[in-house]
Amino acid sequence: MSTRGEREVMGRGGAQGVATAPAAQVPAELPYRELFLALAREVPDAVFAKDIEGRYIFINEVGARYLGRPVEDILGRRDCDILSPDEVQSTLEFDRQTLLAGRTLYAEMREVMAGVPREWLSTKGVIRKPDGQVAGLFGIVRDMSNHRRGEEAQRHSEALFRAAASGSFDAFFLLRGEPAGLRLLRLNAHAERLIGQECGAAEGRMLVDLPDALFIAPLELCEQVWRTGRPHDDEVDQVLPGLGRRWFRRQLVAVGDCMTVTVRDITVQRENEIRLRLNERMASVGMLAAGVAHEINNPLAFVSSNLSFIGTELGRMALPEDDAHELREAIDEAREGAERMRLIVQSLRALSRGEQVNTHALDVHEVLESSVHLAWCKLRSRGRLLRDYGALPPVRGNSVQLAQVFTNLLINAAQALPRQGGEIRLVTRTNDAGQVVVEVHDNGCGIAREHLARVFEPFFTTKPLGEGTGLGLSISHDILKGLGGEMSVDSTMGQGSIFRVLLPTAPEDAVRQSGTPPLQHSLV
């Protein structure tokens, strides 16, 4: 059943404004009037027509509802008769532009209609008589207010999500399972820093395109969570560019075809646990060192005393000069060995008590040679060792601690060497500031640029799991700092590294007390 508005427009204009095919192609029995009215009733948009004077000659129920009046109260009246002057202004302006243009126009409009703010997607065109004269206009209007509110709600929801996710201490990822794999939909600021990608660059990409982020959600693990429906919680360690080895607490929860992944960095916690275990181990070592030092100290005193006695008695004996010279050299070497053992025992006792290790004037080259002997089992199978020693003054230090530093540098250099053609070069010299410089060169694999700034950090290592604790260089760095020295590194990937040690020279009074002269060494 047609409304009066529907009957009115068809009575006055017939099918005017409705495009038709040529008569020869149109079946005469096609019910155009009923078709038009059925479409006008069912479409969710407002459909209307006006005559040249702006009076409504047709409007459907949706349009009447937008105007806030029944259809019967709208037909035959103009907008200015129905709406307030403020409400009607933009509508009349668009009508005027359409009639002047003589063609169909499209516009997005914001206006108040019947007291309700609305956003329209409006289409208006002209209705012509058979002779081509403009008889009025028609319009189709879609209310976009709900759509816009939905978009705004979505933006608001996304803003709330980002605010909440950014306030979390965890890295948050939202992924969706697709036939091609996992697609990254959302991530927060902590996740950006974790994978080294900004939200705009990462969101929408497949996870396989972000190699550094693959560990957060392995596809097999996600499939297991989807299949079982149970969240997965575990710990994982990963070596990341620029960050080194990190420990993470990872949780995966399935939500439909999506997967939420929360990743918490627990590196500090794990490092503290490692430090605690190390401290416990060092406490045990300290107790052992105290016992060893005590047990060695007494027999060492007997050895030193007897060597002095033998040296004295040897001077009283009438022996051939050659024999006497060889015996005196043997006794001097034994005394030197006993003195070195005494210094080692002294360092062990200081370690067990947590005391400051004593420093004295010493010859760097002697300490280097001792370190070479300690590391020789590692060096001889990896490459050749070259020495380029210059003339050096005595330095202020502790032979045991410096030997620990140089031994660590030599072993690290040996581990970095290639399988063939490996070479380590020890270089000693003085710089312009008068410091003693010791350099350990190798032609090994080198250190990546992003890792250079972190090589002296505790527990930082690029070695495979089980091959390093990340403490050797850190401890060596701290030893040198305590002795008033420095350590630095230069490295090029694929070409090798140079670890450079700077040591302060010993004061002259310390040199006189120790009787350590400057020594000359050359390339060996």
pLDDT at 522: 31
**What was the pLDDT predicted at 306?**
85
> Which mean pLDDT values do the consecutive 10-residue runs of the chain (524 residues) have?
35 38 53 80 89 92 90 92 84 89 88 79 90 91 76 61 60 89 86 82 88 88 92 87 82 89 88 75 67 78 84 81 82 79 67 61 89 79 88 88 88 87 92 92 87 74 61 81 89 91 80 48 32
Q: Which fold has domain 4-143?
A: Beta-Lactamase (3.30.450)
Residue 26: the pLDDT is 52
CB 236 within 8 A of CB 218: no
The domain defined by 269-355 folds into: Helix Hairpins (1.10.287)
| CATH class held by domain 150-265 | alpha beta
Reported CATH class of domain 357-524: alpha beta
Please report the pLDDT score of residue 260 as a whole number: 87
Q: List phi, psi (to 5°) of 69.
A: -140, 160
pLDDT at 478: 82
What backbone phi and psi angles, to 5 degrees, belong to 235?
-115, 145
Q: Pairing mode, if any, of strands 395-397 and 105-113?
A: unpaired
Amino acid at the residue 12: R
- pLDDT at position 164, please? 53
* 357-524 shares the fold of 150-265: no
Predicted pLDDT of residue 447: 86
Q: Position 498: which residue type?
A: I
The verdict on pTM exceeding 0.95 is no
- Integer CA distances (angstroms), 52 to 56, 95, 134, in order: 10, 10, 7
3-state DSSP call for residue 486? strand
d(CA 238, CA 245): 5
Domain ranges of the chain: 4-143, 150-265, 269-355, 357-524
* pLDDT of the residue at 469: 58
Q: How far apart are CA 73 and CA 4, in angstroms?
A: 10
Q: Which of 512, 491, 488 is CA-nearest to residue 500?
A: 488
Buried b (16+ CB within 10 A) or exposed e, 401-432: bbbbbbbbbbbbbbebbeeeebbbbbbbeeee
Q: In this predicted structure, what is the pLDDT of residue 437?
A: 94
